[in-house]
Amino acid sequence: MRMFLFRELLGAIRTKSAILFVLSGFLMFLFLASVASFLMITPADVTSTTEGQPIEELQVFLSPTLSSATVNAWYLAWRERSDIASLSFQFVEESDQTATRSIFVVTPTDPNQASILAEELRAIDGVTDVIEVPHVKLIEAPTVSLIVRITLLVVLVLSIAASLFFFRRGYRELLAVFAGEIRMLRLSGIHERILVVLVVALGVLIGCLSGLMILAVLYLLHRVALSTGALQLFGGLAHGMRILGSGLMAVGLGTVLGGLAGVLGASLLHRREFDALP
């Protein structure tokens, strides 16, 4: 019986109410798309690189056979050099627990000339090795700007408000066409609950369809993103499970919001024009 009545209710949809319902569904789709976008944004991620970076310091490894007097003399001499900005002496144990040597940590005055200085120091008898340590550059992964986030938030609020507004208008049009049937149903002793369920079910159907469209669009974007590698801003598109989770969430949220819109529509049933007796 309910399916019969639901089909009859759908059959009462005319051009105007159809346009209003499609518009409400599209606005709900926009709302769900905004929510899903927030879930797809790549979180700010900091990585580091040394590639192409200038030499920041030289680690000069000293032979363990060197006397402390020699090391001291080198320290005093190198400190005076114009191509060395700073110099410190360390036992390797300070950085490497297994080693038993000592090193000079040299900061070159001109990072571009560091390799020449390193070659020169390598050539000194008593220096076992020189390691050139480049500058470490921190890279912040690109993420969605504040303006985009605010825009998404505005779209989110406006779309749901507009969707509910057009839902109500659509219901008003539909119920005006179905008014005779409602009066007849009430006169015949049909439970009020059945009428409410019919109206709410229509909202649920539209909301659920909007959610399913989000799921389909997310899957499509997932395929496109994987093939083109365009994932910088919305990294979540790369993860299949995240796509599925967000899509199902959109279906659930769409269903709930559609139900809410349906309840809004069902509130129109209390109007006098639908009373069984005039």
Q: Which residues bind other proteins (CB under 8 A)?
A: 1, 4-5, 8, 180-181, 184-185, 187-191, 276-278
Q: What pairing do the DSSP bridges indicate for beta strands 137-140 and 46-49?
A: antiparallel
**Length, in residues, of the chain:** 278
Measured distance CA(171)–CA(24) in Å, rounded: 11
Q: Shortest Cβ distance from residue 178 to other proteins (Å)? A: 9
* Residue 221: CB minimum distance to other proteins, A: 45
C-beta closer to other proteins: residue 176 or 248: 176
Residue among 167 and 178 whose Cβ is closer to other proteins? 178
The answer to whether 206 and 21 are in contact (CB under 8 A) is yes
Q: How far is the CB of 14 from other proteins (least distance, A)?
A: 11
Nearer to other proteins, 99 or 176 (CB): 176
Cα 114-47-135 angle, rounded to 5 deg: 10
- As a three-state string, the secondary structure of 125-189 is CCEEEEEEEECCEEEECCCCCHHHHHHHHHHHHHHHHHHHHHHHHHHHHHHHHCHHHHHHHHHCC
C-alpha to C-alpha distances, 176 to 162, 211, 275, nearest whole angstrom: 21, 28, 12
- What is d(CA 101, CA 104) in angstroms, rounded to the nearest whole number? 11
Choice between 48 and 193, CB closer to other proteins: 193
Closest to 234 in 3D by CA, of 159, 141, 140, 157: 141
**Distance of closest approach, residue 2 Cβ to other proteins, in angstroms:** 10
C-beta closer to other proteins: residue 52 or 278? 278
Given the complex with other proteins, which of 190 and 238 has the nearer CB atom?
Answer: 190
Decide if 170 contacts 24 (C-beta within 8 A): yes
> Smallest gap, in angstroms, from Cβ of residue 176 to other proteins?
12
Query: Smallest distance from the beta carbon of 3 to other proteins, in angstroms?
Result: 10
Q: Which is nearer to other proteins, 10 or 124 (CB)?
A: 10
Provide, rounded to whole angstroms, the least separation between the CB of residue 183 and other proteins.
8
